[in-house]
Amino acid sequence: MVPDDTSDILGAVVVDLEQAGRLDADWVGKDAGGRRAEVGVIAGAPGAASDLLVSGFTSALPANAEVVATRPGMFDPVTAREVAKSMVREHPGLDYAFVANEEMALAARSSFDAAGARGVRIVTVNGTDKGLAAIKQGTLSATVTNSPLVNGTMAVRNTLALLAGKQADRIDSVPLVLVTKGNLDQAPQYCP
């Protein structure tokens, strides 16, 4: 999120975390196809990044998708596994889970599967090699890429252009891609 006053910023490359959450919510809305759906949210640690992801996700969900549980996973797979375990026990009709990163999402998947909730579709963010492999296998349904490689490349390119007096965006946004099985080939490399 870009602040209103950017006069003191020499240059930045930012990730629109709210947009990342909205992209996942849009996928849930399309996949649910108008039928009632129960959604669980496994957030990161309370604070700016996780709060932005979650607010983007929850604000973009269609009316037929109801968030029935929201708990922090603390960006920790062990915590996320426990949260998912209790979430599916308390909400056995859970259809979808939004999880704030792929490492936690894979841990949540193991809890859902162990509880017999293999049908819970998980959406997440990052676009790591492990996350993309999980998409290919059907373990995760969708992820929104947030590539450090793309972020760093943009930052260096913009910095060199600005130092050379050339045209470049002082504040630039990393392009986000919602990745599913259908467009795995469009996922940017996460990190070499």
Residues 173-188 pLDDT 10s: 999 999 999 999 999 9
State the residue for tokens 């909205």.
22
Contacts of residue 4, Cβ cutoff 8 Å, sequence gap at least 6: none
| Structure confidence at residue 11 (pLDDT) | 78
Average pLDDT over residues 123-141: 97
Average pLDDT over residues 133-141: 98
Which DSSP state fits 183?
G
This prediction has a pTM of 0.93
Is the CB of residue 98 less than 8 Å from the CB of residue 84?
no
| Structure confidence at residue 1 (pLDDT) | 62
State the residue for tokens 């549980």.
69
**CA atoms 84, 85, 90, 96: torsion sign:** positive
Is pLDDT above 80 for 9?
no
Percent of the chain with pLDDT over 90: 83
